[in-house]
Amino acid sequence: MDVLYFAWVRERIGVPKEKVETTAATVSDLVAELSAREARYAAAFADISALRVALDQELSDFDAPLAGVREVAFFPPMTGG
């Protein structure tokens, strides 16, 4: 699946997008897999309460299943203005 990173998440990880092969069942499982990769991922996902996630461009929760999902995007909360 494609995993996209936006704003400071992208800055910490160092790439805007990557293809990920995963056996993760949920978004939280994917975060755990990514965090175990390298320190830069662990830093980006250290506080998931400061993150939002979208699955196939729809806002979702970290306990959402990944079955059939083609794209996961991580980003900080946004404010209007």
pLDDT digits (tens), the chain, 81 positions: 999 999 999 999 999 999 999 999 999 999 999 999 999 999 999 999 999 999 999 999 999 999 999 999 999 987 555
Amino acid 11: pLDDT = 96
Amino acid 3: pLDDT = 98
**Residue whose C-alpha is closest to residue 75's, from 3, 2, 1:** 3
CB distance 73 to 6 below 8 Å: yes
- Give the strands of the sheet with 17-19, arranged side by side: 17-19, 2-5, 71-75, 52-55, 58-60
User: Reduced to 3 states, what is the DSSP secondary structure of residue 9?
Assistant: helix
Q: Give the ranges where the chain is alpha helix by DSSP (H).
A: 8-13, 27-37, 39-44
pTM listed for this prediction: 0.93
Q: What are 49's two structure tokens?
A: 């309460």
Amino acid 34: pLDDT = 98
